[in-house]
A = this chain, B = another copy of it.
Amino acid sequence: MLKSRLHCFGARQPRLRTVGRLTPCRVASTTPPPSKSAAFDDFVDYILVLQKDILKSAEDLEITRGRQFVIDRWERDAANPNAGYGITCVLDDGEVLEKAAANISVVRGTLSAQRAQAMSSRGRGSIDPRGGQPYAAAAMSLVFHSAHPLIPTLRADVRLFQVGGEAWYGGGCDLTPSYLDEQDTREFHRFWKDVCDEYKPELYGDLKDWCDRYFYIPARKEHRGVGGIFFDDLSSNEAGFDVETFVRKVGDGILPSWLPIVARHRGEPFSDSQRQWQLLRRGRYIEFNLLYDRGIKFGLDGGRIESIMVSAPPLIAWKYNVVPEAGSPEDEVLKVLQKPRAWH
């Protein structure tokens, strides 16, 4: 009997093909569909360039193995070019990036009564709760799952939602480590505090708390990671600062906030036991995504499943009731996840 029960995902798959690999195209050749809003088009142009820059920086990390992103452009509705499109970009099996995804989606449509009502009740005053208004939405979202247990998972996005001449922005950037490194965490939060401080003194504190609240798994009584910043539904009028330029600063900061951590740890040795703990912690990552994440719930309601599930970790383990020994490094990170700290 040929036994390979503990064989891992990673080697090539002879009989499976990955759609999109056959026809790589570069993002620069992409033309967004026509739109009536210059501000919306500007944002789309911004995220297209941002995505391209991110792919370049990430591929630079993988220069020794030469791993590149698979770039998969898809249309929401082949019969209607105005319905929107996406560009899903995935790199896997890298030295640093076990799986990296940086995705764009640009969507236009008409608000359903149900969705309009939900938005209206969340305080978006200019939305008619009866629905029927045209909307446009654009986002760049990113998940980098590290191969190294000491390099945290990076998640980030920047988003624009536009209805009836009003624009609401959302976004954020946060870390999900398997092990706590205080220096990494402090520097990461310091980076985002500096970005926020240019706009409003209390902004970082508000968005840090928002992040801690959002990435929470009630059934585990655990926050998913050590946070960062997170925000939704911000408009310049209501927020009292220029949200549009702020969001671009957030987008621009995503990789610079994380790359110093990669540089610090990528050469460090790690053990099988650390790798196992990383796989177990990734279980929490997907629990949050599938049980609680609002974006994923929204996306699954008619979205493109593979572009949503691309955020899933490449390999995950679950074991019953694993409880780290008190005082161990595994226990140390849990303590912080159970009770978020102030990092500044």
Contacts and interface: CB of A to CB of B under 8 A. Distances in A.
Interface of A: 1-2, 4-11, 13-20, 70, 72, 88, 90, 92, 98-99, 101, 147-148, 219-220, 267-273, 275-277, 279-280, 283, 286-287, 290-291, 300, 303, 305-306, 308-310, 312-325, 328, 330
Given A219-B300, A273-B15, A320 B279 contact: no
Contact of A321 (B18, B313, B317): B18
Contact of A310 (B101, B286, B320): B320
Q: Tell me how many chains of this kind the complex includes.
A: 2
Given A18-B322, A290-B290, A305 B220 contact: yes
Contacts of A11: 272, 276
Nearest to A275: B7
B323 A92 contact: no
Residue among A4, A280, A308, A330 having the largest count of chain B Cβ atoms under 10 Å = A4
B290 A306 contact: no
Nearest 4 CB-CB pairs, A to B? Answer: A290-B290, A312-B318, A9-B317, A2-B269
11 contacts: A1-B267, A6-B8, A7-B276, A9-B276, A9-B317, A15-B328, A16-B276, A18-B322, A19-B321, A88-B320, A315-B315
